[in-house]
Amino acid sequence: MAKQKMLVAEAIVRFLEKKGVTQLYGIPGAAILPVFDAIREVSKITSYVVRHEQTAAFMADGYARATGQAGVCAVTSGPAGTNLLTGLYGAYMDSIPMIAMTGQVSTPMIGTMAFQEAPITDMARPVCKGVYLWNDAAKTEEWLVDMWNTATKGKKGPVLLDLPLNIQKQVIEIDIDAIAQEQPEQLPTPTEQEIDQVIALLQRAQKPALIVGGGVILSNATAELEEFVSLYELPVVTALMGIDAFPNDHPLFAGRMGTMCNTPLGNQTLLESDFILNVGGRFADRSVGTFEVFTANRTIVHVNLDKQELGKYFPIDLGIAADVKAFLYMMVDRAKASGKTVPSWEELEAKPTIAKLLADRKEMARKQDFDELPIKPQRALLELRKFLDRDAFVSHDCGISQIWSTQLFETFVPRTFLITGGAGTMGWGLGAAMAAKLAYPERQSVNIVGDGSLGMSLQDLATAAKHNIPVIVFLLNNSLLGLIRQQQNWYYAERAISTDLIYHNEEFGHDRGIDFVSTAKGMGVEAELVTHYDEIQGALERAAASGKPYLIEVLVDEKAVCSMSNNGSIAGVVETV
């Protein structure tokens, strides 16, 4: 197609649609209206209005995590842009491809402290992979290609397009078809010598262990991972961002790692190992804890696309800066070339060392089937897992509800356990759950959330109601900022301050503070209260059958705590039940 005349705003929208964008989340305002008008007039992109700008970013982020495609959001200038910053930061920390657009005052007014002007590019630069102050209409073609490649190629991340109002309205000539053509991506691959080194180290190891990080998800390498693990018979321990990269019922799944988001066998497997291969992880602080404990007496090999991550926290024995999908493929190819075939799960289970791993996994699993009241959160999560399909989405905020889930909730399908790993954002999960449901309407989508976090996203129950997004909000209500109260009790001699959310609610005659059921109903969301674990399955069935957004408020034991390290090392996790 030859060049056509169109507004800059139209060019941006047409380009995004050519790239496969079908949904946009945001709130229109005067400075971004040309973009929204173009969405309505020249595209088939569906625009979903939200009730807070941060939710627009959280939905774009959640969409990207669930689909692997770039999520898109748009808001106006000034405070709307600043409200996006937390969402950009969360996506940046976890390398999530996202395109955020903000309106901006017209170029002659920039720097004059005009109404709703904010230096958003300067503010966002530290938490974005790329920022673009779109102050030259003639560079639209160049910048469209560059911003898309920046967000979606290499180590992915969010980009911000700051769009002055007068530039959005300028007419340009552009060939959208030509610039939207996808170019093949060339990622670094391991050398044959590096593969030789890894295989030699594996052969020498007596107790090897594999760490699986979020890079396996980001590179869509879960199939290669499963083949690799089965061929080399390595016990798998998942880092936080890799929780859903490997099926938790696989014979070689050993567990999860970390000072908080762990399983007992996961940490033990690493502590007893003499060789660790980290594929696609970062060795982040909450995953490895005290470096001296983690690195003692073991060889460490690290494979990561980002060269800057290799040896970033402590010295390693071998670092390979490469696409993890390519690494796993080459390792699988070597094994098959030597005559090996991928064993079945039954064949793996029959091997003595793997049979022992399975026995240990069962014996060391944390208790969930509590039959006491108030409901234990562990039991609530057990009932939820029983109800959900294997490919259901569960999204998380931050707090003790997240910790319980990372320790207990089994995952089986990639891109289903949605969580902000680096940022740990309260109020994030509802937006992510809604976006996942919009992307995959046929699959279940649940936001596992505590009452503290839901207080930060509560207004967007109205978004679910308005657009009839049938997510389930599974609220574990202990009327506390539970994780912080636990730390006050453990580390500050029980000097609790500002962590209880209790107050007497005269209107509804209880002391739980917010009446979440009534609040949800007031926004048009079906809701019910659960006080006994026997009621959870029925509530979930009614929620699923409703075909509408639904809140289930589960009153859980305010004294329930989570297992976590008391000395900063993965060896120091105190089991609390």
Q: Which two tokens stand for residue 322?
A: 């490469």
Alpha-carbon distance values, 413 to 390, 433, 448 (Å): 7, 16, 17
* Nearest by Cα to 380 from 509, 508, 556: 556
Both tokens assigned to 27: 């709130």
DSSP helix, strand, coil percent of the chain (3-state; round to 5): 45, 20, 40
> Sign of the C-alpha dihedral, residues 8, 14, 20, 23?
positive
**560 close to 378: Cβ distance less than 8 angstroms:** yes
- CA dist 403 and 256 (Å) reads 12
Segment-wise mean pLDDT, segments of 10 residues, the chain, 577 residues: 93 98 98 98 98 98 98 98 98 98 98 97 98 98 98 98 98 98 94 98 98 98 98 98 98 98 98 98 95 96 98 97 98 98 98 98 98 98 98 98 98 98 97 98 98 98 98 98 97 97 96 97 98 98 98 98 96 93
- Quick check: 336 and 246 in contact, CB under 8 A? no
Task: For residue 473, list its beta bridge partners.
Answer: 447, 551
* Rounded distance between C-alpha atoms, residue 259 and residue 570, angstroms: 5
d(CA 235, CA 253): 6
Q: Does the N-terminal peptide bond of residue 374 adopt cis geometry, omega within 30 degrees of 0?
A: yes
From the number of C-beta atoms within 10 Å of its C-beta (0-12, 13-18, 19+), residue 544 rates as middle
Distance of CA 31 to the CA centre of its chain: 30
The pLDDT score that the predictor gives to residue 346 is 98
For the chain, first and last CA: distance in Å? 66
**What's the pLDDT at 326?**
98
Token representation of residue 485: 């109260």
Q: How far apart are CA 159 and CA 269, in angstroms?
A: 39
Q: What is the DSSP string of 289-321?
A: BSHHHHHTT-EEEEEES-GGGTTSSS--SEEEE
User: CA of 441: how far to CAs of 383, 391, 401, in Å?
Assistant: 23, 12, 25
Residues 6+ apart with CB under 8 A from 8: 34, 134, 137, 140, 163, 167, 168, 169, 170, 172
d(C-alpha 262, C-alpha 195), whole Å:
30
Distance CA 65, CA 429 (A): 12
**Residue 83 corresponds to which amino acid?**
N
Distance CA 447, CA 434 (A): 9
Q: 461 - beta bridge partners?
A: none
Q: Which helix (H) or strand (E) segment is 140 a member of? A: helix 140-152
Q: Residue 1: its pLDDT value, please?
A: 63
Q: Is 443 helix (H, G, I), strand (E, B) or coil?
A: coil
- DSSP 3-state assignment of 44? coil
Q: How many CB atoms lie within 10 A of CB 311?
A: 14
